Structure 1
Amino acid sequence: MASPVRPDVASAHVQPSAHVQPSAHVQPSAQLTAIARLLEGKRVAVVSGAGMSTDSGIPDYRGPDSPPRNPMTYQQFVGDDEFRRHYWARNHVGWRHMDAARPNDGHRALAALERRGIVTGIITQNVDMLHTKAGSRQVIDLHGVYARVRCLDCQQLMSRFTLARRLDAKNPGFLDSVAPAEGVEIAPDADAIITDTAHFHMVDCEHCGGILKPDIVYFGESVPKPRVAQAFDLVDSSDALLVVGSSLTVMSGLRFVRRAAKAALPIVVINRGPTRGDEFATITTQAGCSETLAALVDALPPLD
């Protein structure tokens, strides 16, 4: 898990336009004031990433302290029974950890800003549903959610809880056979880092016998086009873009920053490290999401 950055040591860069210009280092009080002034009176679309949920106990992919990760690709999942069985064994442990996670101050802050009419909606790259759990209503789950499972053949949907009951019946004692929950490392996509999965048995779709897959966009898989279009519409209908907790390394999130920059919208980036979108930002702040967003709630008045 990435180590929180204290507000008193956070760094910020402020520039006057949608593209980076040489800028002076400012103190945290000045950076918050600059962000509040930039966003005041505006309807703000949000893009959130894994760094948003680290304070809820869910690790990120590319934080400063994150270990190297090698997530399963879509091609591996659909093309190899052993890869698929190994994944489901790990997920059978990991999804319970994600289901137990609770929103942090950053999630609650964005929900509060939505209630005030400031945040128009959230495009999240996370699958943890913590924005929804915090009370945000306009949430686009860009990469899907951990709590649903889809049959790749008949497209039937089921809840992850329902599948868990089937897998428990098929694999009695499996959860007790792996390390205790506190001794298992959990990855950001509800995957548990365990190696002994040879004794795990998978089940197929009850309706057609097809392959079951978490309703999550894997690496190597495309985000559904209607979902992308909905996200673009959210950016287009807003007056500013706020990026929180994302390195924007992959195009999945970066494209919305580019869209906002092309429209000359003000862009604020809050992340614990540099991002691929910093060149487009009006303000970049290397700080934790929870404390910065909580402070922003106090600094921004409701829209009239």
Structure 2
Amino acid sequence: MNQKPISIVGMPSDLGQGRRGVDMGPSAIRYASAQSLIKRLGYEVEDLGDIAIPSPESIDMGSSSLKYLSAIKQVNEQLAGVVSDVVERGRFPLVLGGDHSMAIGTIAGIAKHHKNMGVIWFDAHGDLNTGETSPSGNIHGMSLAVSLGIGHPDLVNIGGFAPKINPEKTVIVGARELDLGERELIKNLGIKVYSMHDIDRIGMAQVMEEAISIVSQDTDGVHLSLDLDGLDPKDAPGVGTPVPGGISYRESHLALEMLAEANILTSAEFVEVNPILDRENQTAKVAVALMGSMLGQTVI
């Protein structure tokens, strides 16, 4: 990143998630000393505070197949505007969440400036559902599909254009729980997925070498969307949708260290930290440690 100045944005939303508490994720990450770590690594950093999010109790849920659609559209439009302004000022957007529906706004804001962006989606899930295929109706499981231009028009057209990203330049790392509709979409679009089977079989180093090659070739920027449930629940217990058998703490650091070495990231978000389900803020501390590796922190 060549010491590019960083702007932190909080997205304390739990509208897209079925379990409450993830709205406190940005505060938990800040409390885990995110800003002081970034400063110690030599970056100039500003914190722009949080996007204002209505509580689920104060608004109508709407359709059970697209829960809180109207509110999620509104807050992601706001986030897209803030992120776009950050990029316009020549800064690196670092967005803290919050449920993964926030990626709709983050990517919309970045894609306004990066027309051929690569994406690394570090997640146990594909987030490739739509209102028709989702078993839950929770929009945090639709955010990647929306960014690819698939889903409800109110979400797909946030920012005034669609699609935001190209499936051929999108890589999912750590998948181990995919719904039937997501599997079909992955095959139809040709999205590269490195499941836990792949990581076990060829190792994280080779996975990241291949992923970096895919997302950096003929692109004008690379976004990292890191869901903490990509890690094994033993290392990151404070997430709403934990899936056993995930990426280890050390494998996660290696992945982000390799991204730092490749010097390709132009934006990042860390999502789904839920302090209510956590132990002594462990998951937020893991998120901050991984940010350090992403920003070039090394042992020696």
User: Shorter-normalised TM-score: what interval?
Assistant: 0.3 to 0.5
Alignment TM-score, normalising by the size of structure 2: 0.41
TM-score (normalizing by structure 1):
0.40
| Higher RCO (C-alpha under 8 Å, 6+ residues apart) | 1
Query: Which structure shows the higher helix fraction?
Result: 2
